[in-house]
Structure formats: C-alpha cells, structure tokens
A and B are shown apart, each in its own frame.
Chain A
C-alpha cells in the first residue's frame, strides 16, 4: 500500500507546470488588464462582462438567498427589542413626515396650476425598476453591485440607482438580465451636484473612500456643514434633485459628502429610467456625435418575479433639461 501510494505521489509530483502555458496565460492576463483600463476600455470587454453577469446571475442569486435568511436569524427577544426601537423611530418620523406631506401636496397643487396657466404638458408618470443586489464588492479598485435586472426589464446604461435614502450610483455593464451599479464611492464615479440651500455647484468625485469628495467648488463656495447635497442635473447624466447626502469637512478641510445611501445596506435598489436631454440639432456643433437615446422601454409588460415595477409620481428629473 505504502509502495503504491509513493508511486502515485511520484506521478503527482512528476506533473510540472507547463512553462509555455504559464507564460501564455500571464501574457493573456496582461493583455486583458491593458484592454480593461478605465480611460480606454475596449467595447468587447464591456459586452463580455455583461454576458458573463447574465450567465452567473442565477447562481449568485441562489447564493444570496440563504444570506438574506441568515440575516433574520437571531435571538427572538433581541429581534423584538430591535423592532420596538424601529417602531418608535418610525412613529416619530411619520409625525414629522405628515407635515412635509402637506407641504408637498401644496406645492404639487401649485405646480399643476402653473402648468395649466403656462399650457405645459405634465410629464408622464415614471416607473421605477426594483432589484436586489446579488454581489457585494469593495476593495481598493472597484465599488460596484450586481443586480438582477437588465435590458429585458427596461434598464439601459447610465440610469440612476437609489435605495430608500438616496442615490447609490448608476448602471453600467447592462446585460439582458443583469446590470452592474457603479457606486458613487467608486473611483470612476463623477456626478454633478449642488447644495440644496445655496445652489452652490460642485462635482462629486468618488475616490474609493466612504465619503466622496466635492471638487470644482469655486473659490468661496456657499457651503455649510450639514447642507443637503442633491444632483444638479448639469451633467445630463443623472436627473436634477435626487438626494445624495450631507456636506461634511474632512480633517484636511476639504469638502466631502456623507452619503444618505450609506445609512442602510445597499440591498434593495430602485433603478429610475432617465433619458438625457440631447442638445437641439441646430445648436449642436458640426461633427458632434450626440449620445444615442436609450431604447424604448416596454415597462408596462415588465415581468417581475424577483423584481417589481411600481408607479411613481413624476419626478423633477423629467424636466431637468427644461429647468436649466
């Protein structure tokens, strides 16, 4: 037996790494890294990523389910205490929100009247696409989430993604049944924002930290700590007025944003269809290639086994081009 085992061990050890193959795969990896550089990503890589996400989605969804279940397992009494605390907080929040609801209804009525006076067509009601995050990745290079909705559900690249508190990021690598959400904290994320109070404009730049920084603020920005930061819509990437977070100063005196979306796990995500407003054809410089509008969405018949599509009030983003 010992003799047989040593013979088998010898056979195992005799198998050596093929140097040619090894060098070939090392070279291939280097080529892939070069092709996937942020500044000049090859289109085929994006398509390949989206196709892989579509294929791996069922396995990732299956793997995510037990983790969601585990989250709810724990001592019964601890869960009851947590629930009691949540109910107390929600009651307090609800009483405050009632006052805000009256204000909102008032404004809504005023806006409707003004639209009537100006003979404006009210924007069509928006639909949002609901999805669960199936992967969670952090680290120094990338901050993204994979969600189980894609072009089949009406998602197109660049759509804003929100959780219940605020903007999470926007869609990239959109496949037929999956999309990747580029978080606001990712190094490649750039969003034009403004302070709700003063309309001070800035660029929200992700730097793979939990507090993205505010760049291009100007010399004397009218900004205070705690100012509510919302999307400005100036970049024509995200609609105007979506909640982002609160302005905070870091140790070095630079402005950063404490994201509202960080208050809760980025698990349930809403994707808002948004069509950027193109420049008028006669004002566009000659030779300028305008971004192609996303494909027509057939959201009315969107199937929703894991996802849901819900009706919402029209949001200010729909007029982002007109308001500016």
Chain B
C-alpha cells in the first residue's frame, strides 16, 4: 500500500506544481492584457488632448481669414459647425472620430486656400497661427501613431495563443485603428504648403 500512497502523493505534487505554473502564467497574461488595454486608453487620451487643443485654434483661424476668403464662407461655416458638433459631447466614439477627420480635411482645405492669398501669407498673425496649427497637426499625427501602435499590440495580444483564452474570458474585443482616410491624406499636406 505504501508505494501507492507515495505515487499518489507524487502525482498530487506534480498537479499542484502544474496548477501553480498555470496560475502564474494566467496572472502574467492577465496583467499584460490590462497593461495593453490601459496603454490604449492612455494613448487615446493623448490624441484627445491634442484634438481639444486644435478646437481652441479653430475660432482664431476663422476670425483671421473670414475677411479675406469672400467666396469660401461656406468652408468657414462648415468648420465652425463641425467644431461645435465635436465639442457637444453627445457623439459616439465612432461619430467623434468621423467628425474630427472631417475637421482635419476642412482645415486642410482652408490652409490650401490661404496659399492663394499672399496678403494673408505675409500677415505675421496668420503665419503664427499657421505654425501653431501645423505643430498641432503634427502632434495629432504623432499621437495617432502612438495610439495605433498601442492598439496593434493589444489586438495582437487578444488574438494570439494563449493570451486569446484569457482575453476571451475577460470579454476583450479587438479595437479599431485610427485610420486616416485616403482623401484626407491626399488633401492635408500642411508641410508642403509653403515649399
């Protein structure tokens, strides 16, 4: 009987060890998933801060150019409307993203139009404003890239084995990347405006 007890005892220890190792791996995966999810939230908040910074610059831009762009009043009205919409706070994340993309596009058009007004281009105030906008646009682009990297890491983790098991248990779903539409990429070329 005694050897049988030893074997049972040995098997129990092996099971306990295996359970311990599995639990440790599970905890590690769980923590890394939480870390990745938080990284996504952190990166999104970076984008959010910069988008709000851009909201503050829009009224200045409109005020400066409205006297010069007589035949483009529609564009200026459009950007004001989009800004109010984005600031309203009752948009779903998808709608918000869409609105911000439209703002980027419209601002790109306004800046391209400014290129056609030499008196605007030579105005110091406009130049400073454009520099601020260019800086903000570039920062937004950097924050977007950070967000996309964080989302890609997160999506990889929840789709790869064995972390997908823990992610399924935690009901984590894949997140959307911050994709810049082709049209926007083509139109907004801020850096090139003065070249």
B is bound to A: no
Residues on A facing B (Cβ under 8 Å): none
